[in-house]
Amino acid sequence: MSELWKTPASRALRADGLRIADIDTSARPGFRGGKKDGEALLTERGKVLAGLQEKLYANGRSGDNRSVLLVLQGMDTAGKGGIVRHVIGSVDPQGVDHAAFGVPTEEEKRHHFLWRIRKALPRGGQLGVFDRSHYEDVLVARVHELVPEAVWQQRYTEINDFEQELTEAGTELVKVAMFVSLDEQKRRLRERLERPEKYWKFSPGDIDERAYWPAYQQAYQDVLDRTSTDYAPWYVLPADAKWFSRLAVTELLIEAFQKLDLSWPPANFDPAAELRRLDTA
Ligand code: AMP
Ligand code: MG
């Protein structure tokens, strides 16, 4: 770890006991450098991440069924898409299973809320990336009363059981909740409306959602309080500075990969004998 981190990202960003109302969205917990340092470090650490991911992929090819799953949550403009682009951009795309979750389709609505999530889980050897997730079913579903309270209340336990099952089956979960301030969100939405190349990111509903921010804060608070577990803790990411978000998620992923303690898979052939054969081939 670089000396620019006073505290490892996994410790500095742990959600334990954190009040959402107290988040300083412009803070860089654990990091002592500025933007220039952060960007230089990101280039370096992106390579470390790519090396680890290649090792996981190689093991997956040899039958290892372990995986890493990055779960990204956050309000519109929090920067989830930027993280996806950055993470996938810094590693070998064939080792990434990406899924984005929007409003459920008619078919998805007929199933249990975890049905579409299970279908999108990373295969062995893959780095899964979820842009939104099963947590929408206790966030937007709760805030907009899409289901009765008795239904969403029960989902926290269902989520914890599901994630325990996942981790026991060999998936290292990295759950990141990204927060920008309401002012920063306004600035980013304005940018989406002023630049034609950003129109595609805008939905008129994003503006309406701003009025629900207190309800979302409460819903996010309950997510952190009720679903941050030892096996799948939440990390809270102040996301006003994009370079910091990317650096922090890269570090969290590196730490997750390191927990897998990967080595290169052994050859299932005799390399010396194959070299001899190659010489005369
Ligand atoms: P975006 O991530 O900008 O493409 O937007 C996806 C939209 O889908 C957001 O408004 C989410 O709130 C919504 N969404 C995602 N999952 C669900 C869900 N389970 N139920 C209802 N809406 C959802
Ligand atoms: Mg959106």
| pLDDT one-digit tens code per residue, 126-181 | 999 999 999 999 999 999 999 999 999 999 999 999 999 999 999 999 999 999 99
The residue-averaged pLDDT of 13-27 equals 95
- Give the residue, out of 72, 80, 103, with the most ligand 1 atoms within 8 A of its beta carbon, to mutate for a pocket test: 103
Which residue do the tokens 């009765």 mark?
148
Which residue do the tokens 């239904």 mark?
151
Confidence of residue 2 (pLDDT cuts 50, 70, 90): confident
Confidence of residue 87 (pLDDT cuts 50, 70, 90): confident
Mean pLDDT, rounded, of the chain: 96
What CA–CA distance (Å, rounded) separates 141 from 252?
A: 28
Nearest alpha carbon, ligand 1 atom 15: 102
Nearest alpha carbon, ligand 1 atom 12: 140
Among the bound ligands, name the one nearest to the CA of residue 99.
1
Tell me the CA–centroid distance for residue 154 and ligand 2, in Å.
27
Say yes or no to pLDDT of 1 above 80. no
Confidence of residue 98 (pLDDT cuts 50, 70, 90): very high
Query: Could you tell me what percent of the chain has a pLDDT over 90?
Result: 98
The residue-averaged pLDDT of 247-274 equals 96
Q: Supply the pTM of this predicted model.
A: 0.97
Tell me the CA–centroid distance for residue 26 and ligand 1, in Å.
25
The residue-averaged pLDDT of 209-233 equals 97
CB neighbour list of residue 206: distance below 8 Å, 6 or more residues apart: 76, 77, 189
* Long-range Cβ pairs for the range 187-192 (8 Å, 24+): 188/77, 189/76, 189/77, 192/77
Atom of ligand 1 nearest to the CA of 140: 12
Among the bound ligands, name the one nearest to the CA of residue 145.
1
- Please list all protein residues whose beta carbon sits less than 5 angstroms from ligand 2, which is an ion: 76
**What is the signed CA dihedral for 55, 58, 62, 64, rounded to 10 degrees?**
40
Comparing C-alpha atoms, which of 232, 253, 237, 233 is closest to residue 87? 253
Tokens of 88: 């996938």
For 57, list phi and psi in degrees, rounded to 5: -60, -45
Please report the pLDDT score of residue 143 as a whole number: 98
Of 16 and 277, more confident? 277
Please report the pLDDT score of residue 88 as a whole number: 86
Tell me the CA–centroid distance for residue 61 and ligand 2, in Å.
35
What CA–CA distance (Å, rounded) separates 116 from 169?
A: 18
**What is the three-class DSSP state of 183?**
helix
Ligand 1, pocket residues at CB < 6 Å: 76, 101-104, 132, 136-137, 140-141, 146
Tell me the CA–centroid distance for residue 204 and ligand 2, in Å.
9
What CA–CA distance (Å, rounded) separates 34 from 124?
A: 37
Tell me the CA–centroid distance for residue 230 and ligand 2, in Å.
31
**Model pLDDT for residues 176-193, shown as the tens digit of each residue:** 999 999 999 999 999 999
Say yes or no to pLDDT of 66 above 80. yes
Fold of 9-280: Rossmann fold (3.40.50)
Rounded to 10 deg, the angle between the 35-61 and 80-90 helix axes is 60
The residue-averaged pLDDT of 17-33 equals 95
Comparing C-alpha atoms, which of 13, 8, 12, 7 is closest to residue 235? 13
Please report the pLDDT score of residue 101 as a whole number: 98
